[in-house]
Protein backbone atom coordinates (compact mmCIF):
# COMPACT_ATOMS: atom_id res chain seq x y z
CA UNK A 1 0.00 0.00 0.00
CA UNK A 2 1.50 3.37 -0.98
CA UNK A 3 1.82 6.12 1.62
CA UNK A 4 2.65 9.53 0.18
CA UNK A 5 5.02 12.04 1.76
CA UNK A 6 2.81 15.04 2.51
CA UNK A 7 5.21 17.28 4.35
CA UNK A 8 8.94 17.75 4.73
CA UNK A 9 10.34 19.97 7.46
CA UNK A 10 14.04 20.92 7.25
CA UNK A 11 15.43 22.18 10.57
CA UNK A 12 18.91 23.71 10.55
CA UNK A 13 20.36 23.54 14.07
CA UNK A 14 23.59 24.52 15.81
CA UNK A 15 24.63 22.45 18.82
CA UNK A 16 27.18 23.31 21.46
CA UNK A 17 30.01 20.83 22.03
CA UNK A 18 31.31 20.21 25.50
CA UNK A 19 35.03 19.76 24.91
CA UNK A 20 37.82 21.13 22.71
CA UNK A 21 38.72 19.00 19.68
CA UNK A 22 41.52 19.01 17.11
CA UNK A 23 42.24 16.76 14.13
CA UNK A 24 44.85 16.35 11.40
CA UNK A 25 42.61 18.52 9.23
CA UNK A 26 42.44 21.35 11.80
CA UNK A 27 40.87 22.60 15.04
CA UNK A 28 37.13 22.23 15.57
CA UNK A 29 34.69 25.06 16.36
CA UNK A 30 32.78 25.02 19.65
CA UNK A 31 29.44 24.56 17.88
CA UNK A 32 28.52 21.96 15.32
CA UNK A 33 25.93 22.60 12.59
CA UNK A 34 23.46 19.86 11.76
CA UNK A 35 20.21 19.38 9.85
CA UNK A 36 17.22 17.60 11.38
CA UNK A 37 14.53 16.37 9.03
CA UNK A 38 10.89 15.50 9.64
CA UNK A 39 8.81 13.71 7.00
CA UNK A 40 5.08 13.32 7.51
CA UNK A 41 3.05 10.86 5.42
CA UNK A 42 -0.62 10.79 4.41
CA UNK A 43 -1.15 7.92 6.90
CA UNK A 44 0.14 10.21 9.68
CA UNK A 45 3.51 8.51 10.20
CA UNK A 46 6.42 10.79 11.05
CA UNK A 47 9.97 9.86 10.01
CA UNK A 48 13.09 11.50 11.46
CA UNK A 49 16.38 12.13 9.72
CA UNK A 50 19.63 13.86 10.55
CA UNK A 51 22.61 15.12 8.56
CA UNK A 52 25.85 16.07 10.30
CA UNK A 53 28.21 17.32 7.59
CA UNK A 54 31.83 18.37 8.09
CA UNK A 55 33.51 20.61 5.51
CA UNK A 56 36.67 18.44 5.12
CA UNK A 57 34.30 15.73 3.83
CA UNK A 58 32.64 18.08 1.36
CA UNK A 59 29.62 19.87 2.83
CA UNK A 60 28.38 22.18 5.56
CA UNK A 61 25.05 22.25 7.39
CA UNK A 62 23.97 25.15 5.18
CA UNK A 63 24.79 23.45 1.86
CA UNK A 64 23.11 20.28 3.15
CA UNK A 65 19.94 22.10 4.24
CA UNK A 66 19.79 23.76 0.81
CA UNK A 67 20.21 20.40 -0.97
CA UNK A 68 17.38 18.85 1.04
CA UNK A 69 15.12 21.87 0.75
CA UNK A 70 15.69 22.16 -3.02
CA UNK A 71 16.38 19.17 -5.28
CA UNK A 72 15.61 16.46 -2.71
CA UNK A 73 12.33 18.06 -1.65
CA UNK A 74 11.29 17.95 -5.32
CA UNK A 75 11.98 14.19 -5.36
CA UNK A 76 10.42 13.25 -2.04
CA UNK A 77 7.33 15.43 -1.59
CA UNK A 78 4.32 13.62 -2.97
CA UNK A 79 6.31 10.42 -3.52
CA UNK A 80 5.49 6.98 -2.07
CA UNK A 81 7.50 6.70 1.16
CA UNK A 82 7.45 2.90 1.03
CA UNK A 83 9.62 2.82 -2.13
CA UNK A 84 12.94 3.53 -0.48
CA UNK A 85 15.21 1.99 -3.13
CA UNK A 86 13.42 3.87 -5.91
CA UNK A 87 13.70 7.16 -4.01
CA UNK A 88 17.42 6.59 -3.40
CA UNK A 89 17.87 6.13 -7.17
CA UNK A 90 15.78 9.23 -7.85
CA UNK A 91 17.78 11.34 -5.38
CA UNK A 92 21.06 10.26 -7.04
CA UNK A 93 19.59 11.13 -10.43
CA UNK A 94 18.38 14.55 -9.25
CA UNK A 95 21.54 15.65 -7.45
CA UNK A 96 25.22 14.73 -7.74
CA UNK A 97 27.05 14.36 -4.43
CA UNK A 98 25.52 15.58 -1.15
CA UNK A 99 25.57 12.15 0.53
CA UNK A 100 24.79 13.72 3.93
CA UNK A 101 21.53 15.22 2.63
CA UNK A 102 20.52 11.95 0.95
CA UNK A 103 21.36 9.95 4.08
CA UNK A 104 19.07 12.19 6.17
CA UNK A 105 16.14 11.72 3.79
CA UNK A 106 16.70 7.97 3.44
CA UNK A 107 16.90 7.35 7.21
CA UNK A 108 13.59 9.20 7.65
CA UNK A 109 12.07 6.82 5.07
CA UNK A 110 13.43 3.80 6.99
CA UNK A 111 12.02 5.29 10.20
CA UNK A 112 8.60 5.49 8.52
CA UNK A 113 8.89 1.93 7.17
CA UNK A 114 9.74 0.51 10.60
CA UNK A 115 7.01 2.46 12.38
CA UNK A 116 4.45 1.32 9.79
CA UNK A 117 5.30 -2.34 10.48
CA UNK A 118 6.03 -1.90 14.18
CA UNK A 119 9.57 -3.26 13.86
CA UNK A 120 13.06 -1.79 14.35
CA UNK A 121 14.92 -0.82 11.17
CA UNK A 122 17.49 -3.59 11.65
CA UNK A 123 14.67 -6.15 11.32
CA UNK A 124 14.02 -4.74 7.83
CA UNK A 125 17.71 -5.10 6.95
CA UNK A 126 17.85 -8.82 7.64
CA UNK A 127 17.74 -8.94 11.43
CA UNK A 128 20.41 -8.41 14.04
CA UNK A 129 23.68 -10.33 14.01
CA UNK A 130 24.70 -8.36 17.11
CA UNK A 131 22.79 -6.49 19.83
CA UNK A 132 25.70 -4.31 20.92
CA UNK A 133 28.56 -2.58 19.06
CA UNK A 134 31.93 -2.01 20.78
CA UNK A 135 32.45 1.73 21.28
CA UNK A 136 35.64 3.59 20.40
CA UNK A 137 36.30 7.05 21.84
CA UNK A 138 38.48 9.50 19.90
CA UNK A 139 41.29 11.19 21.82
CA UNK A 140 41.31 14.66 20.24
CA UNK A 141 41.54 17.27 23.02
CA UNK A 142 44.52 19.63 22.49
CA UNK A 143 44.84 19.32 26.30
CA UNK A 144 46.17 15.78 26.27
CA UNK A 145 46.29 15.51 30.08
CA UNK A 146 42.51 16.08 30.11
CA UNK A 147 42.13 13.29 27.55
CA UNK A 148 44.24 10.87 29.59
CA UNK A 149 41.98 11.50 32.62
CA UNK A 150 38.97 10.98 30.37
CA UNK A 151 40.39 7.74 28.92
CA UNK A 152 41.11 6.40 32.41
CA UNK A 153 37.53 7.11 33.50
CA UNK A 154 36.10 5.63 30.29
CA UNK A 155 38.19 2.47 30.61
CA UNK A 156 36.61 2.18 34.05
CA UNK A 157 33.19 2.34 32.37
CA UNK A 158 34.16 -0.54 30.09
CA UNK A 159 35.32 1.30 26.98
CA UNK A 160 38.09 -0.79 25.44
CA UNK A 161 38.90 1.09 22.21
CA UNK A 162 40.53 4.50 21.85
CA UNK A 163 41.38 6.29 18.61
CA UNK A 164 44.06 8.94 18.98
CA UNK A 165 43.72 11.83 16.56
CA UNK A 166 47.27 12.37 15.29
CA UNK A 167 48.93 14.75 12.85
CA UNK A 168 48.00 18.10 14.40
CA UNK A 169 51.06 18.24 16.71
CA UNK A 170 54.67 17.13 16.09
CA UNK A 171 55.47 13.51 15.27
CA UNK A 172 57.34 13.20 18.60
CA UNK A 173 54.22 14.48 20.40
CA UNK A 174 52.10 11.85 18.65
CA UNK A 175 54.46 9.04 19.66
CA UNK A 176 54.47 10.34 23.26
CA UNK A 177 50.66 10.55 23.32
CA UNK A 178 50.25 7.02 21.97
CA UNK A 179 52.76 5.63 24.48
CA UNK A 180 51.20 7.51 27.41
CA UNK A 181 47.76 6.21 26.49
CA UNK A 182 49.14 2.67 26.25
CA UNK A 183 50.51 3.05 29.81
CA UNK A 184 47.22 4.49 31.08
CA UNK A 185 45.03 1.85 29.37
CA UNK A 186 47.25 -1.22 28.92
CA UNK A 187 44.43 -3.53 27.83
CA UNK A 188 42.86 -1.15 25.29
CA UNK A 189 42.75 -1.53 21.51
CA UNK A 190 44.49 1.72 20.54
CA UNK A 191 44.20 3.15 17.03
CA UNK A 192 45.51 6.31 15.33
CA UNK A 193 43.69 8.60 12.87
CA UNK A 194 45.71 11.20 10.93
CA UNK A 195 42.70 12.71 9.16
CA UNK A 196 44.93 13.20 6.05
CA UNK A 197 47.48 15.09 8.17
CA UNK A 198 50.80 13.74 6.80
CA UNK A 199 52.73 14.95 3.77
CA UNK A 200 52.95 12.17 1.18
CA UNK A 201 56.75 12.33 0.94
CA UNK A 202 57.23 11.55 4.65
CA UNK A 203 54.07 9.62 5.54
CA UNK A 204 55.57 6.14 5.11
CA UNK A 205 58.65 6.99 7.22
CA UNK A 206 56.53 8.46 10.04
CA UNK A 207 53.96 5.64 10.02
CA UNK A 208 56.78 3.08 10.27
CA UNK A 209 57.54 4.52 13.73
CA UNK A 210 54.02 3.53 14.83
CA UNK A 211 54.39 -0.07 13.65
CA UNK A 212 56.06 -1.34 16.88
CA UNK A 213 53.22 0.10 19.01
CA UNK A 214 50.83 -2.72 18.08
CA UNK A 215 47.97 -0.40 17.11
CA UNK A 216 44.62 -1.75 15.92
CA UNK A 217 44.92 0.36 12.78
CA UNK A 218 46.33 3.60 11.37
CA UNK A 219 43.62 5.64 9.65
CA UNK A 220 43.98 7.87 6.58
CA UNK A 221 47.56 9.16 7.01
CA UNK A 222 47.50 11.05 3.67
CA UNK A 223 44.96 13.06 1.71
CA UNK A 224 42.13 11.79 -0.40
CA UNK A 225 43.59 11.58 -3.92
CA UNK A 226 46.94 10.26 -2.64
CA UNK A 227 45.84 6.63 -2.66
CA UNK A 228 49.08 5.55 -4.32
CA UNK A 229 50.88 6.52 -1.09
CA UNK A 230 48.13 5.00 1.07
CA UNK A 231 48.67 1.69 -0.73
CA UNK A 232 52.45 1.89 -0.24
CA UNK A 233 51.95 2.37 3.51
CA UNK A 234 49.42 -0.47 3.72
CA UNK A 235 51.85 -2.80 1.93
CA UNK A 236 54.85 -1.79 4.05
CA UNK A 237 53.36 -1.91 7.56
CA UNK A 238 52.35 -4.81 9.80
CA UNK A 239 49.71 -2.50 11.34
CA UNK A 240 46.48 -2.49 9.32
CA UNK A 241 45.83 0.76 7.44
CA UNK A 242 42.28 2.11 7.35
CA UNK A 243 40.85 4.25 4.54
CA UNK A 244 38.32 6.90 5.57
CA UNK A 245 38.40 10.09 3.45
CA UNK A 246 39.56 7.99 0.44
CA UNK A 247 36.47 5.76 0.30
CA UNK A 248 32.92 7.13 0.24
CA UNK A 249 31.05 4.86 -2.15
CA UNK A 250 30.82 1.28 -3.43
CA UNK A 251 32.77 2.30 -6.52
CA UNK A 252 35.60 3.71 -4.40
CA UNK A 253 35.48 0.57 -2.26
CA UNK A 254 36.00 -1.44 -5.46
CA UNK A 255 39.01 0.73 -6.36
CA UNK A 256 40.32 0.26 -2.81
CA UNK A 257 39.99 -3.51 -3.04
CA UNK A 258 41.50 -3.80 -6.51
CA UNK A 259 44.44 -1.45 -5.94
CA UNK A 260 45.14 -2.45 -2.32
CA UNK A 261 44.70 1.05 -0.89
CA UNK A 262 43.99 -0.17 2.63
CA UNK A 263 43.37 -3.21 4.85
CA UNK A 264 40.11 -1.93 6.36
CA UNK A 265 37.66 0.91 5.68
CA UNK A 266 35.52 3.30 7.73
CA UNK A 267 31.87 3.21 6.59
CA UNK A 268 29.79 6.33 7.26
CA UNK A 269 26.19 7.03 6.32
CA UNK A 270 27.29 10.62 5.73
CA UNK A 271 29.85 9.48 3.10
CA UNK A 272 27.83 6.74 1.43
CA UNK A 273 24.51 8.63 1.23
CA UNK A 274 22.44 6.38 3.47
CA UNK A 275 21.88 2.81 4.59
CA UNK A 276 21.36 1.19 1.16
CA UNK A 277 24.44 2.82 -0.37
CA UNK A 278 26.52 2.00 2.72
CA UNK A 279 25.41 -1.63 2.41
CA UNK A 280 26.50 -1.67 -1.22
CA UNK A 281 29.94 -0.40 -0.20
CA UNK A 282 30.12 -2.93 2.62
CA UNK A 283 29.09 -5.73 0.24
CA UNK A 284 32.10 -4.93 -1.96
CA UNK A 285 34.30 -4.87 1.14
CA UNK A 286 32.87 -8.20 2.29
CA UNK A 287 33.62 -9.79 -1.08
CA UNK A 288 37.17 -8.46 -0.97
CA UNK A 289 37.86 -9.57 2.62
CA UNK A 290 38.08 -5.98 3.90
CA UNK A 291 36.57 -5.56 7.39
CA UNK A 292 34.79 -2.27 8.00
CA UNK A 293 34.13 0.12 10.89
CA UNK A 294 31.30 2.40 11.99
CA UNK A 295 32.70 5.89 11.46
CA UNK A 296 31.05 9.29 11.99
CA UNK A 297 31.29 12.96 11.19
CA UNK A 298 29.29 14.93 13.84
CA UNK A 299 26.12 12.85 14.08
CA UNK A 300 23.84 12.90 17.09
CA UNK A 301 21.30 10.37 18.27
CA UNK A 302 19.05 10.18 15.20
CA UNK A 303 21.72 9.47 12.58
CA UNK A 304 23.66 7.26 14.99
CA UNK A 305 20.55 5.18 15.64
CA UNK A 306 20.27 4.66 11.87
CA UNK A 307 23.93 3.66 11.70
CA UNK A 308 23.51 1.30 14.69
CA UNK A 309 20.64 -0.46 12.87
CA UNK A 310 22.87 -0.85 9.80
CA UNK A 311 25.77 -2.30 11.81
CA UNK A 312 23.44 -4.57 13.79
CA UNK A 313 22.45 -6.28 10.53
CA UNK A 314 25.85 -6.17 8.76
CA UNK A 315 28.30 -8.93 9.79
CA UNK A 316 31.30 -7.34 8.05
CA UNK A 317 31.08 -4.00 9.93
CA UNK A 318 32.91 -5.63 12.78
CA UNK A 319 35.62 -3.21 13.93
CA UNK A 320 33.35 -1.34 16.36
CA UNK A 321 31.96 2.18 16.12
CA UNK A 322 32.74 5.73 17.22
CA UNK A 323 29.19 6.70 18.17
CA UNK A 324 30.24 8.68 21.26
CA UNK A 325 28.98 12.15 20.26
CA UNK A 326 25.66 12.13 22.15
CA UNK A 327 27.18 11.02 25.42
CA UNK A 328 30.61 12.61 25.47
CA UNK A 329 30.88 15.52 23.03
CA UNK A 330 27.51 17.21 22.43
CA UNK A 331 26.56 19.44 25.37
CA UNK A 332 23.00 18.19 24.69
CA UNK A 333 21.26 16.40 21.85
CA UNK A 334 17.83 16.90 20.29
CA UNK A 335 16.60 13.38 21.12
CA UNK A 336 14.25 12.78 24.05
CA UNK A 337 15.89 9.55 25.22
CA UNK A 338 19.60 9.23 26.04
CA UNK A 339 21.54 7.37 23.34
CA UNK A 340 21.74 3.74 24.48
CA UNK A 341 25.13 2.73 25.88
CA UNK A 342 25.93 -0.39 27.85
CA UNK A 343 29.28 -1.39 29.31
CA UNK A 344 31.58 0.19 26.73
CA UNK A 345 29.28 -0.55 23.81
CA UNK A 346 26.35 0.95 21.94
CA UNK A 347 23.13 -1.00 22.43
CA UNK A 348 21.20 -1.23 19.16
CA UNK A 349 17.81 0.50 19.58
CA UNK A 350 14.86 -1.89 19.58
CA UNK A 351 11.83 0.41 19.24
CA UNK A 352 9.81 0.70 15.99
CA UNK A 353 11.66 2.48 13.17
CA UNK A 354 14.86 4.15 14.30
CA UNK A 355 13.59 3.96 17.88
CA UNK A 356 14.24 7.66 18.54
CA UNK A 357 11.98 10.60 19.47
CA UNK A 358 12.67 14.34 19.31
CA UNK A 359 13.11 16.58 22.34
CA UNK A 360 11.12 19.54 21.00
CA UNK A 361 12.42 21.98 23.59
CA UNK A 362 16.11 21.40 22.78
CA UNK A 363 15.29 21.41 19.09
CA UNK A 364 13.70 24.88 19.43
CA UNK A 365 16.62 26.15 21.52
CA UNK A 366 19.23 25.01 18.94
CA UNK A 367 17.20 26.01 15.88
CA UNK A 368 18.83 28.38 13.36
CA UNK A 369 16.31 28.16 10.50
CA UNK A 370 13.25 26.09 9.61
CA UNK A 371 11.94 25.45 6.11
CA UNK A 372 8.68 23.73 5.27
MG1 LIG B 1 38.65 9.33 10.21
Q: How far is the CA of 217 from the centre of ligand 1 (A)?
A: 11
Q: Which of 340, 283, 337 is nearest to 310 (CA)?
A: 283
Q: How far is the CA of 196 from the centre of ligand 1 (A)?
A: 8
Q: How far is the CA of 163 from the centre of ligand 1 (A)?
A: 9
Intra-chain end-to-end CA distance of the chain, in Å: 26
When the pLDDT of each residue in the chain is averaged and rounded to a whole number, the result is: 96
Cβ 82 vs Cβ 93: under 8 Å: no
**pLDDT interval class at 335 (50, 70, 90):** very high
Q: How far is the CA of 317 from the centre of ligand 1 (A)?
A: 15
Q: How far is the CA of 343 from the centre of ligand 1 (A)?
A: 24
According to CATH, the superfamily of the domain at 123-347 is: Enolase-like C-terminal domain (3.20.20.120)
Distance CA 19, CA 16 (A): 9
**pLDDT value at 20 more than 90:** no
**pLDDT value at 49 more than 70:** yes
Neighbours of ion ligand 1 (CB under 5 A): 193, 219, 244
Distance CA 187, CA 191 (A): 13
Q: How far is the CA of 265 from the centre of ligand 1 (A)?
A: 10
**pLDDT value at 183 more than 80:** yes
**pLDDT interval class at 342 (50, 70, 90):** very high
Sign of CA dihedral 232, 235, 240, 243: positive
Specify the pLDDT at position 23.
74
Cβ 9 vs Cβ 49: under 8 Å: no
Cβ 24 vs Cβ 168: under 8 Å: yes
Q: How far is the CA of 192 from the centre of ligand 1 (A)?
A: 9
Give the phi and the psi of residue 138 in degrees, each rounded to 5: -95, 125
Q: How far is the CA of 123 from the centre of ligand 1 (A)?
A: 29
Residue 360 class from Cβ within 10 Å (0-12 exposed, 13-18 middle, 19+ buried)? exposed
Q: How far is the CA of 26 from the centre of ligand 1 (A)?
A: 13
Q: At what angle do helices 250-259 and 275-288 cross, to 10 degrees?
A: 20
Q: How far is the CA of 221 from the centre of ligand 1 (A)?
A: 9
Distance CA 122, CA 314 (A): 9
- At CA 338, angle to CA 336 and CA 343, rounded to 5? 165
Specify the pLDDT at position 13.
97
Distance CA 67, CA 77 (A): 14
Q: How far is the CA of 8 from the centre of ligand 1 (A)?
A: 31
**pLDDT value at 26 more than 70:** no
Q: Which of 270, 272, 276 is nearest to 249 (CA)?
A: 272
Specify the pLDDT at position 3.
97
Q: How far is the CA of 321 from the centre of ligand 1 (A)?
A: 11
Q: How far is the CA of 130 from the centre of ligand 1 (A)?
A: 24
Buried b (16+ CB within 10 A) or exposed e, 4-22: ebeebebbbbebebebebb
Q: What is the pLDDT of residues 254-297, one digit of tens each?
A: 999 999 999 999 999 999 999 999 999 999 999 999 999 999 99
Q: What's the rounded mean pLDDT across residues 202-230?
A: 98
Q: How far is the CA of 195 from the centre of ligand 1 (A)?
A: 5
Specify the pLDDT at position 245.
98
Cβ 91 vs Cβ 72: under 8 Å: yes
Domain segments of the chain as ranges: 5-118+359-371, 123-347
Cβ 189 vs Cβ 216: under 8 Å: yes
- What's the pTM value of the predicted model, to 2 decimals? 0.96
Q: How far is the CA of 113 from the centre of ligand 1 (A)?
A: 31
Strand boundaries in 201-297, DSSP class E: 218-219, 241-243, 264-267, 292-294
CATH number of the structural domain 5-118+359-371? 3.30.390.10
Q: How far is the CA of 152 from the centre of ligand 1 (A)?
A: 23
Specify the pLDDT at position 22.
74
Q: How far is the CA of 234 from the centre of ligand 1 (A)?
A: 16
3-state secondary structure of 335: strand
Q: At what angle do helices 275-288 and 84-94 cross, to 10 degrees?
A: 90
Q: How far is the CA of 268 from the centre of ligand 1 (A)?
A: 10
Amino acid sequence: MPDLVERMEVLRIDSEIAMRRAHGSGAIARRVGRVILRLLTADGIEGLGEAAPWAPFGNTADTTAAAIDGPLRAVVEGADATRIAALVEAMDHALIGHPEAKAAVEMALWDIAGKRLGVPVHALLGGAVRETIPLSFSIADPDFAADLDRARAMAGQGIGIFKVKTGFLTHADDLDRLSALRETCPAADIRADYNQGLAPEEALRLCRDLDPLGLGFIEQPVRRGQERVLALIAAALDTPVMADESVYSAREMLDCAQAGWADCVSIKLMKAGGILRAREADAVATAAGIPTYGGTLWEGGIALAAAAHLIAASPNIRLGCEFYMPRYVLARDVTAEPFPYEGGAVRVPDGPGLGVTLDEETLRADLVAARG
